[in-house]
Structures are given as structure tokens and as C-alpha cells.
Amino acid sequence: MTRIILAALLAVCVAEQALADPGWTLRKSENPALSAFTQTFQSNLNIKAIGFACEDTNGVRALQLQIYTKGGGPLAPSGISRAQLKDEPRAQFAVDGKAFPVMLDYAGDYALLTSDVEGIFPMLSDDIMKAVVSGKTLRLRFDLRKKPAAGADAFDSEAIVDLTGGTAAIAAVRQRCAK
């Protein structure tokens, strides 16, 4: 009996890992939570990992882009102190050059990019996720640093993520969140 249980657990782990593309990790936690994370990206920010996560709170499933920072502090350009950060930062989310409006917020130990809200739960729209699943490159641009008025609208930092390496993992998260 023990061998059957171990074999079943191994099969589940192998199946989930098969969904994870090179450079992406598919993580399963409590039902229906599922997330796809990568630590492979180009950035001038203090980012440790970027991922799409399906959060289930009180029966509402919210698909979000979560950005974990090195050291758990606020999202910031490398070498910038907290005192140099804006009180109301901005973000831009673009897939293959097509920009989508998003909101930047913080939840616990990560930054959060979302475009919609269901009830009180922030999430990414289905239009954004369709673009992500079929896209090649995700470019996240941020306006985080306090600047003189002349440069107030300029983005000062970015992260570029290759989506082609995460297609199956991201699609699995999207599908799980849609059920």
C-alpha cells in the first residue's frame, strides 16, 4: 500500500513538473492555488522572482502577477533608498508591445500588478491573460523614483520576462483559476 501511495505522489510531482517550462516553476499549494514563477528575467530592479498566481479567497479566484523583492522591501530600482521612492508609484504592463492599464499595489511581502477587482479582490483581466499565454515578451515598466517635475512622467525601471519559456505553466495557472 505504501508503494502505491508513493508511486501516486511521484506521478503527480512528475506531471506537475512536466507542465513547468524551462526557467519556470509550477507550484501547487492549497486547492485551488497554483502559481508559475520565474527567476529568469532582465531587470534593473530589486526583484527576486516574478510569477502568475491563482489566489482563492472566500470563493473568489483571482489571477495576479506577483513580484517578490530581494530582502522583502518595496519594489525599487537597484541602489535606491526608500526615501527616494514615490508615495504613489505607477506601472505599465505590456505583452509584445501592447500596453495594458494596471495598478501597482503591495500585499504582504510582494508587489502586485492587477487590472480588475472582483468584490475586494484585485486580479488580472482575461484580456491580459490571453495576451500573456499567447505572447512572447512581457515588459513591466515602473515609475518609482521621486523626480523633479520635468521628469515626473518618465518610467525609471523595468523588468523583461521571456514568456515563451512559461507558456504551459502560465496556461495551467490560468485554467485552474477559471474553474
Write down the mean pLDDT value for the chain: 83
For residue range 63-97, list pLDDT tens digits in order.
Answer: 999 999 998 889 999 888 889 999 999 999 999 99
Q: At residue 131, does pLDDT exceed 90?
A: yes
d(CA 155, CA 91): 8
Q: At residue 119, does pLDDT exceed 70?
A: yes
User: Which run of H or of E encompasses 28?
Assistant: strand 24-28
d(CA 171, CA 103): 22
The answer to whether 54 and 123 have CB atoms below 8 angstroms apart is no
More confident residue, 12 or 86: 86
Q: What is the DSSP string of 92-155?
A: EEEETTEEEE-EEEEETTEEEEESEEETTEEE--HHHHHHHHH-SEEEEEEEEE---GGGTT--
Kind of pairing between the strands at 137-145 and 85-95: antiparallel
Mean pLDDT of 31-50: 89
For the whole model, what pTM was predicted?
A: 0.83
Three cell numbers, residue 31: 486547492
Task: Identify the bridge partners of residue 162 per DSSP, sorted by sequence position.
Answer: 137
The answer to whether 27 and 35 have CB atoms below 8 angstroms apart is yes
Q: At residue 6, does pLDDT exceed 80?
A: no
Going by C-alpha positions, the residue among 42, 121, 34, 95 that lies closest to residue 112 is 121
Q: At residue 42, does pLDDT exceed 60?
A: yes
For residue range 50-72, list pLDDT tens digits in order.
Answer: 999 998 877 888 999 999 999 88
In the chain, the N- to C-terminal Cα span, in Å, equals 32
